[in-house]
Structure 1
Amino acid sequence: MSTWTADELTRIGTAEELQVSSTRTDGTLRPYVTIWAVRAGDDIYIRSAYGSANPWFVRAGRSGTGRIRAGGVEKDVTFAAASPEAHAAIDAAYHAKYDRHGPAIVGTVTGSDAEATTYRLVPRAG
């Protein structure tokens, strides 16, 4: 595993949306799904707005790996768990970036219910 560069963190963190794809068992990528993403500290996080049964979220969890595109960055990633201590900062980042869309929408990716649908994106070397 590797780490994000400062440029990647800025570009992905400021992009309005992120496209995420999980890896199939044969190594090919599934179609991309467009979602919201935030930067909290030196990490990038994504959450499922429609719960843990959302198909993209389930597939990402099963495969454990995939690829993201945002802000001109395209990178292979591992879908990792977020540490429990990170959730307050993740919520704050979602509010700061997306509150202009209204509380009903932002509420789908913030709060204690959203914690179970969080992946930390870890860039993969190569």
Structure 2
Amino acid sequence: MTSFLWPRSNSRGSDMWQQDQLDRIVKADDLHISPFREDGKTYGTPTWIWCVQVKGELYVRGYHGTASRWYQAAVKQRTGRISAAGSVIDVSFEPVSLSDEINNAIDEAYEEKYRTSSYLRPMIDKRARAATVRVVPRDTREHHR
């Protein structure tokens, strides 16, 4: 089954998530990220990662900071896909500057969502903050698994 979602545009002019879709992704907490490999055609091995939403946008971070393999591929290739909440979605990856003020709000979202996890502290330290990525839908198609 495939459903079609019309993207919204944000202040940067890029597509945004439909709020109900974003809510499903974040609530499911089963996001797997697959940036393209070097050839720009083959998806990388899906990597399970944490995700949060801030101001209607989806953010992820590399636990191992910029050394995270998925992060390096995402920054280099800029596109790929995610699978979450029963859907596979084509996305773009936009690195977030360490100095970007949104990082404080992302920290708060991680603290709220993952407050009981022993992995929380590393996800809000400088190393992980340096590997923050905004995940943006590339088109309106949502493929259900």
TM beyond 0.5: yes
Once residues 112 and 51 of structure 1 are traced to their aligned partners in structure 2, the CA distance between those partners, rounded to angstroms, is 8
Q: Please, what is the CA RMSD of the aligned residues? A: 1.5
Name the SS for the 2:16 alignment partner: coil
Candidates 13, 16, 34, aligned match of 1:3: 16
**Moved beyond 3 Å, runs of 4+:** none
Instruction: Report SS of the residue matched to 1:38.
Output: strand
**Counterpart amino acid of 1:15?**
A
Equivalent in the alignment of 1:16 = 29
Unaligned runs of 5+ residues in structure 2 are 1-13, 141-145
Amino acid at match of 1:11: R
Instruction: Using the TM superposition, give the Cα deviation of residue 8 of structure 1 relative to its aligned residue in structure 2, in angstroms.
Output: 1.1
Equivalent position to 2:130, from 108, 116, 119: 116
8 Å Cα contact 2:79-2:93 kept in structure 1: yes
Residues 47-95 of structure 1: per-residue CA shift (max 9 Å, x gap): 0011211111111111111101112232111110236121111001101
Counterpart check, 1:72 vs 2:86: yes
> Residue in 1 aligned with 2:111?
95
CA–CA separation in structure 2 for the residues paired with 1:26 and 1:49: 24
* Contact in 2 for aligned 1:15/1:71 (Cα 8 Å): yes
Judging changes above 3 Å, is the alpha-carbon distance between structure 1 residues 26 and 65 closer, same or farther for their aligned structure 2 residues? closer
CA radius of gyration, larger in: 2
Moved more, 66-75 or 116-125: 66-75
Tell me whether 116-125 or 77-86 shows the greater mean CA deviation: 77-86
Between 24-33 and 84-93, report the one with greater CA deviation. Answer: 24-33
Fraction of identical pairs, as percent = 35
Q: Name the residue aligned to 2:41.
A: 27
TM-score, normalised to structure 1's length? 0.90
**Deviations 1:80-116 (CA, angstroms, capped at 9, x unpaired):** 02361211110011011111113xx101111333221
How many angstroms apart in 2 are the aligned matches of 1:112 and 1:87?
Answer: 10
SS of residue matched to 2:130: helix
